Structures are given as C-alpha cells and as structure tokens.
A and B are shown apart, each in its own frame.
Chain A
C-alpha cells in the first residue's frame, strides 16, 4: 500500500519488537489505518473459521492409522455445531452411537486411552494432533505403555474423555483437543490428562498442557511433558492440582532428552 498522507504513524514503532501485542499501529483520525483494520479482520476470520470449519474424522482416522494406531470414531451428544456451542453439557457426553462404537473395546483396560477431539478449533486438531501423536509414539514405546484404539471424537468437550476412558477401563485418559482460538493462535492444541477417568471428574482433577503448536510448545516437548506426567500419574495414582509438572528439571539446555526407543 502506498504511503498515506492521512495516516499518522507512531514514532515508537520499534517498541513493537518487544511484544506480540498490536502496538504503534498509527491512526487515521481516531481510527485504525486501513491496513490494520484489514489485518485484524483477517485474523478474526481465521479464528472464526477455526471454530466453524467442519471436523473431518475420516481424514483424522487415516492420519492416525498411518502412525500405526487402531482408531474408532465417536460423536458427542451434541447433534451439531450450534448445539455444541450452546450446550457444553452435551459435548461432555457420548452419543448412544458413540457408546455403541466403544462397546467392542469395553474393559480392555489400556494404560492410556487416547482421545482426539475437535473442541473449539477443528483447525488445531487437524494441524497438531497427528504430528503430536507421532512424537508421543516414541515415548509410548519407551515406557512400554498399552494404549488401545485412538478415539476420534466429534463435537466433543474435554470431559467426554472421562466417559470414553471409563468404558475402556483405562488407567488414564489423555484428551487432545482444539483450544479456544485466539487472534494470534487459531491452531493451538490442548492436552488434558486424567487419572482413573470416569463420568463426573472435575477440571481440578486433570493436568493440562496448553498452546501445543509450532509457534508455541513444540510437539516433541509436549510429548515429553505428557510422558513425564503420565509416568507420575500412574505411579502416584492421581492427576490434578496435587500433581505439579516438574518435567522442566529434566530439560537439557531447554530441550527434552531424546526418547531411548523410537
């Protein structure tokens, strides 16, 4: 765009290097310059698309099967996106069909049940979950954990993992779920680990690893953290506020140690 005589630029533009916040934007009268209005509108459009883009459970199943995992697809009790957004309680429970889909695996009692869900950003689930799982697979092999089928859940909230994990009889469940998208992070994945999953667990009984994405926490680092937490959870038989993440103490120059197998 050409230099605009009506835009008052801010003399402190270099301050912008210190923060990702939108500072020193300049102004046109009291308003934002055209370039900034459009830059913001694009970021909002991307975040909206992340919320509303349909989740593709078949593509997810192909990606996850490609990593050597068995998969099973389920839906929540929320019939569609609008109901999902209005009724968080429905997104926390399996549909009848979902429960039926898990029935063949009931009581298989894996060490860890893995659930991948769209959550509030299907974009994040597609962009991050398979790549994260590829990194985490090496940690699973390292510890010799059994995992059962990867559950791929549509229109799901975090607590849906409790019901899925309970049906499988899993010792713990991890939910890989698209996080509420921000303007600067529409594709961020959250990981929620819950020991002894059953319907009715509260958020205080989970450990969360958030901001898993390229520009945030790397897949390798997140996989290392999750493995550390799971090991502790299985040994101490709990997750939540009583389990503090101390995996950072094991980092080598800020990086997780490489898995021994994988």
Chain B
C-alpha cells in the first residue's frame, strides 16, 4: 500500500510501510549506508507525520520482512497476543504515543500490554518520540527477572562486572573481578568475553568464576559469553554454567550469519534450564544485540536498523532472558556516526525493549573511530539511569583491554547511584554490606587490605 503525505508545498509518497518506517527514522549513518534514509529533513518529518496516522493494526497486516522467508517474522506474527493488543487496537501510532505518555499508561497497564506489542509497533511509536518521551515511558515499564537475585525492581540498577583479559589469563581476570566486587559491581552477572573459543579454556573460566561465587556465597550469576552451541557442549561436559549467552539479531538471515536459528536458541535454553542452578528464578538466558547487525550481515531486507533491532528483542522474548543488552556504540561510525546518534539509539533500544517486556540493559560504549568520547557516555548513562535501565556494564577504568572499546566503569555506576539514588539488586546489596564493602546506605566504605575477598590472591593482595 502506498502512503502519501503533504508537507509544506511538497507531496511525498512512500511505497510501503517498510519505506515509510525507514524515512521516518531519526537520521543515522547506517540507514544512509543502506540507502534507505530520508533524502531531506522535510521528507523525514513528512514520513513521521504520515506514520502518526497509520493504525497500529496495519502492522499486523503488512509484514516488513516477508513471513514466508523469515522465521523471526513468523515468530512475531504467530505468537502475537491479540487479547493484550485489544486495549490499543483502535489507536493510530500517534494516538499510541499520547496514550503511552498519559497517566492511563501506568506500570500494570504497560505490563499487561507488552505481549500485544510487536517490535514494529514499538519501533514505529519510538520514531515519533523525543528523547524525553523515550525516557518517561521506559521508566514506567517494569520488567523483573530472577536467577540468584532480583533484577529490575523500581529504584534499582544492576551492573555486569566485565573482567576481560586479552589472553584469558586466570590471575588477570581474577584481579579485575576482585576490583569490581570491591567497587560494589556484579549483581547483573559476572560475565567474561573470552578471547579463546576453545572448550577447555572456557570450562576453566566458568570454574574460576563459579569458585569465587560459591566461596563467598555471592548472590549473583556467572556467564562466559561464547556461542550458544559451545555453551550447550560445555554443559554436556558437566561444567557449571549459570547463564547461556548469544548475540541475536532481527532477521533470520542475520541470525544465520551468527550461526544460530530459533531452534538453536531453544536447545541452549533447555540445556541451561536442565541444570536448575538458579535459586530464586529460572531466567537463564543472556542476549546481546545492536543496531546495524543485520545490515552488516547483508540481511536487512531494506528495513531500517532501529526497527530490526526491536525485532531482535522479539527473538529474545520467548526465552525469558535474565538480561538483554544493546551494545549500542560498538559496531562503529558507519552505523551510528557520533555521540548524538549513539545517545538516541541507546534510548530507543531501551524504550522498545522495555515496552515489549524485555529486561533491557545497555552497553553504553564507543569505539575510537566514532565521533564520541567519555562526555557522550556520561550523558547517555545518566539519561538511561533516569529511564530505569535494567543494568549497565562495569569495566575497569572504562577500557576493555580485550575488545578494544570503551564502556562504562566501576566508577561510573557509583556516580549514577549517587546522583540518581539507584540501589543494587537487594540480595547483592545485603551481601556487600555483610562483606563490609558497603555501609547501610549502600555507599562504599573505606577499605583496607584485610577484606576477605582479597584472600583469593594472597600474593598480590597487600
């Protein structure tokens, strides 16, 4: 169906919903690279005006990626909850924005609505929203998940402790873990990106983290971020795996370039569940996403990168993940050119994920060839903290020495807790206090060399 819009003295036509969505997207380099971005500022706004009048129901009738050739579309269509959708079925995209901002859209209403929201609907309404709208609505969404602690409660923000090392050195990783714990990080997960993909190396890393968690009875979970099929194999060998990880994208083709399908994810999910290692809950999956991955894989079908990113959350949703994060600035300036684009994308991704009922965190990050710096990251993390982000990364000094990019640090989360009064997962908060790391107010206590944690590396501790 062709969509038409007058703007000023010009008339614009958009071939189909896919083109309308792409032209309505706030400007970013990835859509320009794909050749699908609006060709003028006026066309961009004309597309948004047109999109505002599109009924939400239109997204149920017109697939942006064909149903016949894409299992992600089939998942979205076949699992759509029509009863939940009824509450907003009469609305246009513009009405939907107004509704989301209104007091009628409170936390229970939004939670009940989530299964009725397709990623395309979430993406469409986000394109009409300013940054403050994305923050205000996301903050009202409540997504709580559990494994050995409780993540996503109001007024909390968790942190993934990311202790990477360029050669997976056990002592080096342990040193970063201890530093992170002593800075009060690690309630989301202690998650290592390994340099190696060799099963024996991964097994050693998993045992290393599990030993620390068991020895100090830390109410948190571990993860080694390797391919889902590798995790399944490691589980079969009897190695302690808490969370199974996988990068996911919003089209079948892009997932295929990652070497996965929905069936592969299901196998990994079932393998993780079979271990029954969670004490409080059964959220056993950890997914990572990022705008631009489908274009990078040559599998974007002419759909804009922000909409495809929201579709990645639809891939994650049936597996009831503990954590999902958008690695927003990692992919490079050809997809998100500068700090302004990275900030916008981070807020969009977080909003879409939360609206869909997915526990979205954000790797607030950039590479050295992007037009971005620490000040942009300060801005984005503060905005996401205000928006109720589920978790952020904690990396020593912001500098990931294995992946060669910059993210948020152990210090950054302290700053956010101070200025926004954000607490940790309650079980982890209590543990930190019992270890003498924090006081009753959750703030770090002055720390000598005598903390029990440092007994893990006696030769280097004092």
Contacts and interface: CB of A to CB of B under 8 A. Distances in A.
B421 interface: no
Residue with the highest number of chain A CB atoms closer than 10 Å, among B163, B179, B409: B179
Interface string B165-187: 11001011111101100100000
Interface string A118-140: 00100000000000000000000
B334 A87 contact: yes
Residue with the highest number of chain B CB atoms closer than 10 Å, among A12, A31, A40, A184: A12
Interface string B143-180: 00000000000000000000111100101111110110
Contacts of A88: 33, 334
A19 interface: yes
A8 interface: yes
Interface residues of A, number: 43
Interface stretch (A44-52, A55-63, A102-110): A44-52
B396 interface: yes
Interface string A79-93: 000000111110000
Interface string A1-43: 0000000101110111111111111010111100010001101
B461 interface: yes
Residue with the highest number of chain A CB atoms closer than 10 Å, among B175, B367, B398: B175
B204 interface: no
B49 interface: no
Contacts of A71: none
B368 A180 contact: yes
B373 interface: yes
Given A18-B169, A88-B334, A27 B414 contact: yes
A50 B368 contact: yes
Contact of A22 (B397, B448, B451): B397
A10 B444 CA distance: 12
B433 interface: no
Given A18-B169, A30-B415, A44-B368, A86 B29 contact: yes
Residue with the highest number of chain B CB atoms closer than 10 Å, among A17, A51, A86: A86
B367 to A, nearest CB: 6
B446 interface: yes
A15 to B, nearest CB: 4
B198 to A, nearest CB: 12
15 contacts: A10-B182, A11-B447, A14-B462, A18-B169, A19-B176, A22-B397, A25-B411, A30-B414, A30-B415, A32-B409, A32-B411, A86-B29, A86-B33, A180-B332, A182-B405
Given A11-B449, A50-B368, 20 more contacts: A14-B460, A18-B169, A19-B165, A20-B166, A21-B163, A21-B172, A21-B175, A24-B179, A25-B396, A27-B411, A30-B415, A32-B397, A40-B398, A44-B368, A51-B369, A180-B332, A180-B404, A182-B399, A185-B404, A186-B368
